[in-house]
Structures are given as structure tokens and as C-alpha cells.
Structure 1
Amino acid sequence: MDAEITITELTPDLATAVVRLCERALDLPEDATEAAPIVDVLWPRASADRTVVGLGAYRGADLVGVLLGSLSPADPGVGHVDLVAVLPEQRRQGVGRALVARAEAVLAERGVTEVLLAGNPPYYAWPGIDVRYTPAVCAALALGYRQDRTAWNMIADLSYDDSPALRSTEAGERRLAERGITVRRAEPADLPALAAFARSTFGGTWDGELAGSVGRAGAGCHLAERDGQVLGFAAYGSSRPSWFGPMGTDPAAEGSGIGGVLLRRCLRDQRAAGLDRAQIGWVGPVPFYSGSAGARIERVFFLYRRTLPAA
């Protein structure tokens, strides 16, 4: 008879074991190959900046499943389940259910009244549950979660020189220069101005994502400025090495061509790093990315939430 499931708190010394489990448990190759940066962005790197819940499921001495969760930085009453991974041979045996139940209890103890199966920016690996993880979708519904949103990623093909995603930006940069606009790579010294621009123009948590992109290995950011004032930015690698975003342009400068130039500069960086495709995460303006980089919608995610029962 199989040993009972035991749920314990993960400790930092288990990071390597958590990555190895995720490499086996994440069924989609684009996720399995980035298991290490996914774990790094969700746990423990983020632990210095937010409250993170890390749980391991054991059968005897064997780690068979993990859950990583967090509290919303915007609303202390909201918690997130950021990742659930169970070894393939251990599925449909109550491991995921036990992990989620314990996570809900831990989050409730910290004042959470609603739990989301959805990304928690600025530290996230997916917007929600990829629809191709069908067992996870079924489990969410069985656990009482309701779908309330849909999100999608677009893919930019970097695999060949003539890809629309890799079109030259030289002519666009010349036109911008004629208007006094400079485009360049962002440096760590630019981060305060970039973060202030992101907060004041767009709100949200893009300033945190920029902090995860500027000056970090495997990540980067390009900006446009005029007379020392930031007019736009595009970043990549904050969430995952293969992901592009966020990007934003001052509403007063929309239509100037800044966005397309910044986007393709970043995509060329990612191609130079050895990637043959880039994921544009949690996309809003589909027509812009389609026109500027030939990107197509590929990954679709369901986002779920559940109100916890009163104690």
C-alpha cells in the first residue's frame, strides 16, 4: 500500500530538488526547459520582496509534488497559487488536492479570503493555467474554483533571418532621431527614471518587472527618450528568459513608431542569446504585435478564483 501523503514547508536547501521535480512534472517542453528560472522567479528569489508559500508533498522520503504560492502585493486579502507540480506517476492520487488544501489553510491564516490560480506580477511564470494542462483545468473546477478571465501569449518566430520579428530598426531609429528621440539600451542607472515613468503612466507592477530586467543576465531593456525624458521602454527576461515584456509608450508618443523599434531591438537580443522563439506574455494589443513582429497567438490560459469559506 502506498505511503500516505505528508505536506511540509519547503526550505531553501530543497531548491535543486524542486527544480528537478518541475523538470519532470511540467508536461510542456517550453515550461520544462525553463524549470530552473521558473522556480527562481517564484521561490526563493521573490521571498525577499513578498510573502511566499512553498509546500512539498512527500510519500515516505520521496518528494512527489510541490506548490508555490504568494500574497498579492496590492491586496493582502488575496492569495495566489503560482505553481502546482506533481510527478506524472503520482497524479490522480490526491497529491495536488492535498497541496492546494494546505496552501489555502496557510493563506487563510495570513488573512487571505480569496485565492487566485493566476499570475501574481511582478513575479509570475504564467498568467494562469495553460489550457493544454487539461488535468489541471479539471482539478481547478473540482476544487471549487471558477474561471473569471482568459489570457493569452503570442509567439514571435526568431528562427530565421528574414522573420518579421527581426526586421531592421535602422530606418525607424533615424526617423525618431529626426524628432529628437534617442533609442538605446537601458542601464542600471536608468532604472529609477524607468520605474517612475512606468508607475506614473501605467500603474500596476511594471516597475517591479523592469527591476527584474535591467542589468540582469539573460534579461534586458531598451528605452526611448527625448531631452532626458523617458517616452517608452521594452523589456524581456524578467519572468522567464524566453518571455518578452513588459513594454509601454507614453500615450502622447503613440503612433511615432517607438513601440515597434523597441520591441524588435529586444527580440534581436533574445535571438542573439540563442532563442528561436520569444513568448510575448499576457498580451493586450494583439494587432500591434502581429503587425510589428508577425507574432501569433499560441498559448491560452484560464484564470481562476475561489472565495475561501469563513472560519
Structure 2
Amino acid sequence: MGPHEIARAALVFDAAEAPAMVDRLMSPPATRRWKALTTDGGFALASLSERDPAIGHLDLLAVHPDAQGRGRGRELVAAAEEWLRAEGATQARFAGNPPAYAWPGIDVRYTAAACLAESAGYERYNVAWNMTARLPVTAEEEPLPAGVELHATGPDEDRSDVAAFVEREWNTSWAWEAANATGLHHATLDGEIVAFAAWGARPTWFGPMGTAPAARGLGLGGVLLRRCLADQHATGLSEAQIGWVGPLRFYSRAVGARAERVFWLYQRDLR
């Protein structure tokens, strides 16, 4: 039984995208140290943070329903911790390791996973949430400001200029997501890139997106957001997940998105 089959059966709230999520986690940035761990009917993926190698992540843990209730989850947690310690980690987290991650933390609906983390000595230290946008989004587009042009870049087209802009303005994690996303839109002002939005960096989810300080207030974020959501609707989606949200008000006003999925982030000292 392979990881795709196990993930599809175990991740009941994410079954449709589970195989693509596994593939993304197993194709992370080249600089990432990671390992796949297996047991009878289950598997886990663990990795080290690029920002702080002393922090380890349990990126994904899944046990097939037929194998649940036999301690397989605890075996996988122990094996992941053993590998992380050997790699120099002093802390382990059930929390997203950007830019290639499954979720920000443990979705509270996966109650058994939260119970496993707490029984293994992990403590909750933060909370994150997604917003859901119903598709299609209908909104009248305002005329673009003078000098602004919109661009779409396909997955097989050169994205190096957009990725360089994102890394310069934000960070390398977002730059990797922009370069590896299914869809990428950006805006230029007088020929210079000033804003971007991506979807599919985390399979089927929207994000990240950002606007450079010099172009804020021009309405570019909303325009690029709606263009990405239109792409997602064209793939057959009736709803889009806006992942690991910060500005609730922006997404609520721009596309009527609602806060929905909640994630608990856990950590434990490995020393």
C-alpha cells in the first residue's frame, strides 16, 4: 500500500487532493532536508526548517483506516523524532514548513491527529485559519490606473523575474511558491513588477499574494486575486481555499470569503 492510497483513504477532508499534496511534499526545494518514514499501513514525512535547522517538522502523518487503533501513529511520531534528533533538531512541530507544506497545522476536524500530538507531549502554541471563497466570484472591475498592465505566466513559462521580485520584497519561501504554483498573475507599473498573486503552490489553494509598498492603494490585490480565482473555477472548483490567512477584512470584502478551516500548531522540545 503506497503513500498515495494511504493519504487518500486517511485524509477524508482532503481526499481529492491528497495524492498531489504528497507529491508536492516529496518535491520540496532542493535545499530542504527531509525524510519519508513508513510503517505497516501508514507513513509520515518529516523535514527540517530552512530558516532554523534546529526546528523539525512533521509535515504529514497518515494511517490507513484499516490500520488505525494499533499504535501506528505513535510509531511514526517516534521514528520522525528520532530522525530529526539525528539531524540536529532540538524542537519538533506539527506545523507547516513553508514553502512546501500540507497545512499550517493540524486541522481541528482531524481530532484523532490532535489527540495523538497531545498524547505524545506536544503543546499547542498558535492557531491559523483558512478562508473559503465561493466560485465563481462576480465583481465589476474598476479601470486600471494609468501605467498598469496585468500579466499571466503559465507553469512552463519563465517566472524568474517575478520570483526575483517576490524574494526581494518578501522572502525566499514565497518566491519558491510563486515559481512552482499552478497559476501566477502579476501586475506591472510603468514596466516594473509591483504585485503578484499565485494559486496551486499548495495544491488547489490560493496564495501567496502581495503588492509592493509603492503600488498599494491601487486595487491591484483584488484584481489579481479575482483572476486567480477565475482560473481555479475554470479547473472545476466550486470553492477555493485561501490558505494561512492574515488580512481577514481584505478577503471578506474583495470576494466575500468566510473564515472556515482552523488549524492548531503544536510543538515539543526534543532535548
**TM norm. shorter chain > 0.5:** yes
In structure 1, C-alpha distance between the alignment counterparts of 2:168 and 2:266, rounded to whole Å = 29
Of 230, 233, 250 in structure 2, the residue corresponding to residue 268 of structure 1 is 230
* Structure 1 residue 189 displacement after superposition: 5.7
**Partner-residue secondary structure (3-state), 1:56:** strand
What's the TM-score, normalizing by structure 1?
Answer: 0.83
Report the AA paired with residue 128 of structure 2: A
Q: Return the letter of the residue paired with 1:27.
A: V
In the TM superposition, residue 274 of structure 1 has moved relative to its aligned partner by 0.9
**Greater Rg, structure 1 or structure 2?**
1
1:152-208 per-position Cα deviation (integer Å, ceiling 9, x unaligned)? 0000101xxxx5x23243xx2x332xx211112135665222122212212251001
RMSD after superposition: 1.6
SS of the equivalent of 2:39 reads strand
Q: Which residue of 2 aligns with 1:10?
A: none
Partner in structure 2 of residue 61 of structure 1: none
Match of 1:39 among 7, 22, 26: 22
| Match status 1:98 vs 2:75 | yes
Native 8 Å contact 1:166 1:268 kept in 2: no
Matched, 1:81 2:58: yes
Deviation of 1:237 (Å):
0.5
Give yes or no for the alignment of 1:302 onto 2:270: no
Change (3 A) 1:275 1:91: same
Written as runs of structure 1 = structure 2, the 5 A alignment for 1:217-296 is 219-240=182-203, 242-296=204-258
Higher helix proportion (structure 1 or 2) = 1
* Runs of 5+ unmatched residues, structure 1: 1-13, 59-63, 214-218
Number of residue pairs matched by the alignment = 270
List per-residue Cα deviations over 1:12-39 (Å, max 9, x = no partner).
xx8xx110111111121xx111111111
Q: Which residue of 1 aligns with 2:144?
A: 175
Kindly report structure 1 stretches of 4+ aligned residues shifted beyond 6 Å.
none
* Secondary structure at the counterpart of residue 116 of structure 1: strand
Name the structure 2 match of 1:3.
none
Give the match for residue 138 of structure 2.
Answer: 166
From 157, 160, 165, give the equivalent of 1:197.
165
Structure 2 unmatched runs, 5+ = none
> What is the letter of the counterpart of residue 54 of structure 1?
A
Amino acid corresponding to residue 88 of structure 2 in structure 1 = G
SS in 2 for 1:175: coil
